[in-house]
Amino acid sequence: MSTPHTFVKARLPTPIGPMLVVTDERDQLRALDWEEYEARMHRLLRLHYGARGVTLTDGKAPLAVRGPLEAYFDGELGAIEPVVVETGGTEFQRSVWAALRGIPAGETLSYGALAAKIARPTAVRAVGLANGANPVGVVVPCHRVIGANASLTGYAGGVERKRWLLSHEGVS
């Protein structure tokens, strides 16, 4: 049985709607989602830490996370790169999420290219599932993954948000 965690949940206004930011006692980002998807965020936290593994308390996001997110939405696209992320998930999922962080702002990759990047070229579907289970969107930029035909495939925060994020980063 895993040790219970207590994390702080904060709300952060953004140009595309209120964002929920979950951090731990070391100011590490544990989850990030859009306010209307709070139920999904709780489901992912349960998957990563167990049914009784997390208690959330309302509070303020630490400056180490809030500052870079605000700067990102103000146009400093690289500001989120140093945000420290700590996630659960499988080793495979964490490898996908690490590869996502390697996609620079303003660039996109297909699921196939992302699978090849982690040396698992036949794992395209598994990469897609790991991408969809990403608990810290925007900072771990799953929105930068697109379909093989350059289509905007699904995004947990909605395709319109994905379109906005990519446009914000200079992707046409």
State the sign of the Cα–Cα–Cα–Cα dihedral 71, 72, 76, 81: positive
Catalytic site residue from 99, 123, 142, 145: 142
The answer to whether residue 109 is catalytic is no
Instruction: Give me the active site residues, please.
Output: 142
